[in-house]
Copies of this chain bind each other. A is one copy, B any other.
Amino acid sequence: MPSLRDVAERAQVAISTVSAALNGTRPVAAGTKRRIEQAAAELGYRPNLLARGLQSKRTRILALLYPAPRSGFGLTEMQFATGAAEAARELGHHLLLSPEHADPIEELRHLTGLGLVDGVLLMEVGLDDERAAFLTAAGVPFSMIGRTRDPGSIDYADIDFAATARDAVAHVAALGHRELAFFNLSSGAYADGYGPAVRAGEEFAAAARAAGIGYVDGHRPGSAEEGREAFERLMEAHPDVTALAVMDDHAAVGVIAAVAARGWRIPDDLTLLLVLSSARVAEMFHPRLTTLEPPGTELGRLGARMLIDRLCGDGPPQQRLVPCRLVAGDSSAPPRTTGREGRRRA
């Protein structure tokens, strides 16, 4: 690998001049600059990032803290990573994929102490996330995909649950539904403080209220079996519900089975929405479910970009909310008009 010195020798100038010419750090005569650039090109010179980083205290490397995959982990989480990696790349940075284990704080202390990364990207952020508190205290630049309860001036990109809920409610309301039920994420799979579960729950309730349509929640099925049970209990207690929004993929499988078991069909007898699941998963269902697809790639990109912005200069905190995209499938239709016999057609 050729170094600055090799370029300097070939161009017959001093090392510092080469550095200046290549980085534009200070004015260099046009002719000299051309000579240097040519020499660099001929030698295939690439700046050594380690040397540069050692000197400048900036490595242009970001770390994405990647929690150990748990149930419910899927495409969206992977999109965070790929989106962040792409955005980083476009902005001349690199992305380290840093798996988290038993003691996130200790690992964070270690990682940031290495001098290897300029900043950290947090995902799967809890409402009271200790990592965020630690990084703030340690003065390490970071941004979040998701957000804590009170993000203060921390940069973050999160799902706009209010808009998502509004869109979902508007979608079913437009079809004529007057009674909507909501199955939240299981309290088992996620700690109770898990942001998406809390926020989605609140916002769906608010959106339904604002739209003046009936609303039932309280169920939190986390598996197909629980989904089946939840749906049966729902129909017992609230037979007038005609539309259902489900957060958990597996629960949706159970709901579909339960619907079939009572001789009903989707969408004729029940409008089913899958919330926070990717369209790719929705396509696995038959009929294809209407989905509120989380903007995973976009959030990853935003998270990386705002972190890089922060590293470069400091502006005001960037806090972005992006709604899920409603992808209409074949699981939404006007409400059934009778009880058990299915919807009458005109």
Q: Using a CB–CB distance below 8 Å, which chain A residues touch chain B?
A: 1, 44, 46-51, 53-54, 59, 61, 64, 66, 69, 74-75, 77-79, 81-82, 85-86, 89, 94-99, 101, 110, 113-116, 224, 249-250, 253, 256-257, 260, 280-281, 283-286
Q: Which residues of B contact A86 (CB under 8 A)?
A: 99
Q: How far is the CA of A97 from the CA of B85 in the complex (A)?
A: 6
Q: Which residues of B contact A283 (CB under 8 A)?
A: 224, 250, 253
**A54, B44: Cβ atoms closer than 8 Å:** no
Number of copies: 2
**A94, B98: Cβ atoms closer than 8 Å:** yes
Q: A44-B113, A48-B114, A69-B82 known; 18 other A-B pairs, CB under 8 Å?
A: A46-B110, A46-B114, A46-B115, A48-B54, A50-B116, A61-B116, A64-B97, A66-B85, A69-B79, A74-B75, A78-B78, A81-B97, A89-B98, A95-B97, A95-B98, A97-B97, A253-B284, A281-B284
Q: How far is the CA of A239 from the CA of B119 in the complex (A)?
A: 61
**Which of B64, B115, B249 interacts with A49 by CB under 8 Å?**
B115
**A85, B98: Cβ atoms closer than 8 Å:** yes
**B94, A95: Cβ atoms closer than 8 Å:** no
With A96-B97, A98-B85, A283-B224 already in contact, the answer to whether A59 and B66 are too (CB < 8 A) is no
Q: List 6 A-B contacts (CB under 8 A).
A: A46-B115, A64-B97, A69-B82, A95-B97, A97-B97, A284-B285
**A280, B54: Cβ atoms closer than 8 Å:** no
Q: Which residues of B contact A249 (CB under 8 A)?
A: 284
Shortest distance between the CB of A186 and any CB in chain B (Å) = 15
Most buried by B among A74, A75, A78, A285: A78
Q: How far is the CA of A8 from the CA of B97 in the complex (A)?
A: 33
Chain B residue nearest in CB terms to A249: B284
Q: Which residues of B contact A61 (CB under 8 A)?
A: 96, 116
**A47, B114: Cβ atoms closer than 8 Å:** yes
Q: Which residues of B contact A79 (CB under 8 A)?
A: 69
Shortest distance between the CB of A263 and any CB in chain B (Å) = 15
Q: How far is the CA of A151 from the CA of B110 in the complex (A)?
A: 38
**B48, A115: Cβ atoms closer than 8 Å:** yes
Q: How far is the CA of A95 from the CA of B47 in the complex (A)?
A: 21
**A113, B1: Cβ atoms closer than 8 Å:** yes
Q: Which residues of B contact A250 (CB under 8 A)?
A: 283-284
Shortest distance between the CB of A336 and any CB in chain B (Å) = 21
**B94, A96: Cβ atoms closer than 8 Å:** yes
Q: How far is the CA of A40 from the CA of B122 in the complex (A)?
A: 29
